[in-house]
Amino acid sequence: MTVPGIFAPPAVQARLLDLQRIDDELTRVAQHRRRLEQAADVTAAEAERSALRRTAADRRGELEDLRTRIGRVETDVRTVEQRLERDRERLATTSSPKDAHGLEQEIASLRRRREALEDDELELMEQVEAVEAAAGEVAAALDEVEQRLAAMRTDRDDALAGLDAQQTDAAARRTALVEELPADLVALYDRQRTRYGVGAARLVGAVSEGSNMALTGADLAEVRAAAPEAIVLDPESNCILVRA
């Protein structure tokens, strides 16, 4: 329980509590930083944005496909109209009843074909209109998410900047305090804190604030029998016990 070879006046040992408070502050800052960096609302907004971007890409693909199909239909319509014009010219100049009958039948067939193509084109254009409307809704939703995400990130960055300042201040105070303490005492404190989570805690009566448990009668008697300059460890939490 008593650490051999390391001694420090009670007032110096008491300053380990200040060091522990600073380290607790640094731990809280680090935990707060992790929570901010892993914020569920930001993660959810990013996932929503990714989904909307995929949907927007799908709508663009649909529009490209529809416009390609419209282009093919328009080409077919032009071809049919060219054939109609040619057949009309031939019909106007032919003197053969048989040829005229054949041309009239072909013209009627081409007109039906043109009407069918125009119906197809109209249907495709209606589909384009519907997809464009859907794409507009997706774009509006994506813009809203982008703005919301930007606001979240601004708030987060402001909070992180505040944490950076707090961390810098606490780290500077820690460095200044460590420089005033014996190196072997600080090394012991750091080792115990790294291993067990707490480097130093007060002994209040029979209760260790490191474990929040009362020492046994035998342990308490041993602590009280130790010299004031002796370094005593809590038998439960293994932190340095700072005796009042």
Quick one: pLDDT band at residue 96, thresholds 50, 70, 90?
confident
184 pLDDT more than 80: yes
Quick one: pLDDT band at residue 244, thresholds 50, 70, 90?
confident
Domain ranges of the chain: 2-35+182-243, 39-169
Q: Which CATH number fits domain 39-169: 3.90.1300.10, 1.10.1740.10, 3.40.50.300, 1.10.287.1490?
A: 1.10.287.1490
Q: Which tokens hold the place of 98?
A: 């048989």
199 pLDDT more than 90: yes
DSSP string, 7-76: E--HHHHHHHHHHHHHHHHHHHHHHHHHHHHT-HHHHHHHHHHHHHHHHHHHHHHHHHHHHHHHHHHHHH
Give pLDDT tens digits for 17-52.
Answer: 999 999 999 999 999 999 998 888 999 999 999 999
CB 128 within 8 A of CB 66: yes
Listed residue (224, 225, 178) closest to 199, CA to CA? 178
| Mean local confidence (pLDDT), 108-116 | 93
| Mean local confidence (pLDDT), 119-144 | 97
